[in-house]
Structures are given as structure tokens and as C-alpha cells.
Amino acid sequence: MYTPPLARLIEQLQKLPGVGPKTAQRLALHILKRSDADAQALAKSIIDAKKQVGFCKVCFHLSAEPVCEICRNQNRENKVICVVADSRDVIALEKTREYKGKYHVLGGVISPMDGIGPEQLNVQSLVQRVNQEKTQEVILAISPSVEGETTTLYVGGLLKPFTKVTRIAFGLPMGGDLEYADEVTLARALEGRRELD
């Protein structure tokens, strides 16, 4: 049905997340319609990103430099570390523009089913960092799944002897409707209630 180079392109595009046969065909035909320069630029950006982007050796966030921009930024609070599972979470938190401290990316969550224990994650380096940098607060910002909770409790337990450990709040999302919230979320929201200022 497809001429071979087109079939191969569609096959490759289908490996991307959320891209099925129809979307892959549409993307492939779009690439063929665009200029040579556009196709070259797309291909080059893939190879360059893969070649140049690694992990920051301090916080393990994605970085093209040995130490990432956030870690190098002198204007950021140095005594607070926000611990997240993935670089994606750093990006999400940065978008809020609320947080001015540093990060530490674990690279996943503890999941014995998938053979991921603390040794597979950047936990050891976090403990070292907290001790060396005399961190005053570690904020755990890990999604509240079963594995996430396990990770939060494990990392929290490890760090408590050395520093103040907090975790982000769980409750009703902004714009969320109390009536439609699930029971666990509501229970968490009740539990995390605060006095009105």
C-alpha cells in the first residue's frame, strides 16, 4: 500500500507514544509535503537532542551541560531541594514559577514488580547532597500512587535524621467539584485542612 521508504517512516513514527497507524500516516505524508530543509531540520534535532542531552551530575535533571542551568543559577535558594520522580516533573514545577529552590530527580519510583529498588534510583546521591550542602528542607513532590507513596516514605525516612522533610499537599484540585471528587482525594483534603488566615 505504501512505497517502501514511506512504509518505513510510518513504522518508525508509530513507535512514538500515542501515535497509531492513522496519525503516523498523516505525520508521514505531512513530512513528505514539506521542504527538504524542514525534514532535515527535524531529523537533525532528533539526533542532536539524543546526542547532546544527558543528565545533570548534581540533580539528574535533563541537561546538555554537565551541570544543569537550575543548579548553576546563583539566584536560586540553595538550601531547599525538591525531590521528584522524573525530569517531566521538574518541567511541570518550573512552569508554575512558584518554586525558587533546587531539585533532585530520582529517575523513577520504587517498584519491586518492575525490579526497581532504591539502588536503581538516584537516592544515594540525594543523601550525600543533603549532608554536603547542609540542606535545610527537602520537599518530596512525588505522585501519590502506591509506588509513589512507598518512595515518599522510604526517602523521607532516610532523610529525616539530617534535615526537615516536607511533602506537597494533596486535596481538591482548583476548579474541582467536591461532589465529583473521589473518596481518597476528599479524605486527603480533609486531613490536610488548614486554619483560615
Instruction: Specify the residue, 6 or 153, whose C-beta has the smaller distance to its own copies.
Output: 6
Q: How far apart are CA 170 and CA 24, in angstroms?
A: 38
55: its cell numbers: 543528565
- In angstroms, give the least distance from the CB of 196 to its own copies: 34
The secondary element (H helix, E strand) that includes residue 126 is: helix 124-132
If binding is defined by CB under 8 A, does position 146 make contact with its own copies? no
One symbol per residue from 33 to 72: x for binding its own copies (CB under 8 A), - otherwise; what is it?
-x-x-xxxxxxxxxxxxxxxx--------xxxx--xx---
- In angstroms, give the least distance from the CB of 169 to its own copies: 23
C-alpha distances out from residue 131 to 87, 135, 156, 164, Å: 23, 7, 14, 12
Contact by Cβ (8 Å): 70, 97: no
* CA angle centred on 125, ends 120 and 131, rounded to 5°: 145
Find where cell 531541594 sits. 81
Q: Mark the segment that binds its own copies (CB under 8 A) among 25-33, 98-106, 147-155, 166-174.
A: 25-33
If binding is defined by CB under 8 A, does position 24 make contact with its own copies? no
Instruction: Specify the residue, 13 or 159, whose C-beta has the smaller distance to its own copies.
Output: 13
Which residues of the shown chain bind its own copies in the complex (CB under 8 A)? 1-6, 8-9, 11-13, 15-18, 23, 25-32, 34, 36, 38-53, 62-65, 68-69, 87-88, 91, 94-95
